[in-house]
Amino acid sequence: MQALEMKKKVVIIDYDLGNLFSVKLACESVGLNVEISGDKKIIKNADAVILPGVGSFGDAMNNLKQLDLISSLQDFALSGKPLMGVCLGMQLLFTSSEEFGNTQGLNLISGEIRKLRSTIDSPVKVPQIGWNTITSSKVPWLQTPLKNTPANSYMYFVHSFYAAPVNDAVTLTITKYGDNEYCSAIFKDNIFATQFHPEKSTETGVKIYKEWALMNNLI
């Protein structure tokens, strides 16, 4: 009983957008104790937070605002506790997005969100839906949740926009799609985020949740 109470709790942020259940299933499969919640108090007391999301940046920020979660998430990140973003959840961590003019994000990572390009020389469908590879950047993966992920692993992507960090030092992986060569994962102090969906990327992806959990003593 005591062991159960001691177990670290990870909160998956529910802001009424997209599907949180596959993230939950993947987390549970690696032994994480997860709760889906949009309650400020529960988030504050969490040992770690995962910000998932699919859909539009503007809708997501509106929902976070309406649920009064913007400062909760910013405070959580400043507390130094682990924060993981997935897909739109990674994009929301940035300063702003060019979607619908210019929408402000959580501003935890400096940079902006831009639309994927399709060019005459390299025509691609946007959104990108499907598998693509992640290659290493200048930042070594050894001290990150990707430490056991082979370079050039295939990951599952679903997105029309990508993150362009101001500082290269946060870029953990690079992905190419048509004419676009973009940052597909970031790592900065307690913040880790992926544009791809590790929970939909076979055991190779699920292992990333496991490494993140181990690194942060969550399991």
Partner 1 sequence: MVNIRVIPRLDIKGPNLVKGIHLEGLRVLGRPEDFAQYYYEQGADELMYVDVVASLYERNSLHDIISKTARRTFIPLTVGGGIRTIDDIKSVLRAGADKVSLNTAAVRNPTIIREASRKFGSSTIVVAIEAIKQPDGKYLAYVDNGREHTGIEVLSWAKKVEELGAGELIVTSVDNEGTGTGYNIELTKLIAENVSIPVIAHGGPGTLKDFGTVLKDGKADALSVASVLHYDYIKKIEHTMHHRTEGNIEFLKSNRSFQKINPTGITEIKQYLLSNFYECRH
Kindly identify the residues of this chain, within the stretch 58-87, that bind partner 1 according to CB under 8 A.
59
Q: Which among 16, 28, 138, 158 is positioned nearest to 86, based on CA atoms?
A: 158
Min dist. Cβ of residue 137 to partner 1 (A)? 19
In this structure, which long-range contacts are made by residues 92-98, counting pairs with CB atoms below 8 Å and at least 24 apart in sequence? 92/51, 92/53, 92/57, 92/60, 92/61, 92/64, 93/51, 93/186, 93/191, 93/193, 94/163, 94/165, 97/57, 97/58, 97/161, 98/161
Relative to beta strand 83-86, strand 48-51 is parallel
Q: Are 179 and 119 in contact (CB under 8 A)?
A: yes
Size of the site for partner 1 (CB under 8 A): 38
Give the SS3 label for residue 23: helix
**Are residues 40 and 68 in contact, defined by beta-carbon separation less than 8 angstroms?**
yes
Binding mask 80-119 for partner 1 (x = CB under 8 A): --------x-----------------------------x-
DSSP assignment letter at 80: T
Choose, by CB under 8 A, the member of 13, 18, 93, 213 that binds partner 1: 18
Q: Which stretch binds partner 1 (CB under 8 A): 40-48, 74-82, 104-112, 152-160?
A: 152-160
Point out the residues that are catalytic: 87, 197, 199
Which range, of 64-72, 73-81, 105-113, 154-162, touches partner 1 by CB under 8 A? 154-162
Residue 139 interacts with partner 1 (CB under 8 A)? Answer: no
Which range, of 24-32, 43-51, 64-72, 95-103, touches partner 1 by CB under 8 A? 24-32
Angular region, 27: left φ>0, alpha ψ -120 to 50, beta rest: alpha
Q: Which stretch binds partner 1 (CB under 8 A): 42-50, 90-98, 121-129, 210-218?
A: 121-129
Q: Are 63 and 38 in contact (CB under 8 A)?
A: no
Is residue 158 within the footprint of partner 1 (CB under 8 A)? yes
- Residue with Cβ nearer partner 1 (40 or 154): 154
Give me the residues that bind partner 1 (CB under 8 A), please: 17-19, 21-22, 25-26, 29, 54-56, 59, 88, 118, 122, 124-127, 129-132, 154, 156, 158-159, 176-178, 197, 199-203, 205-206
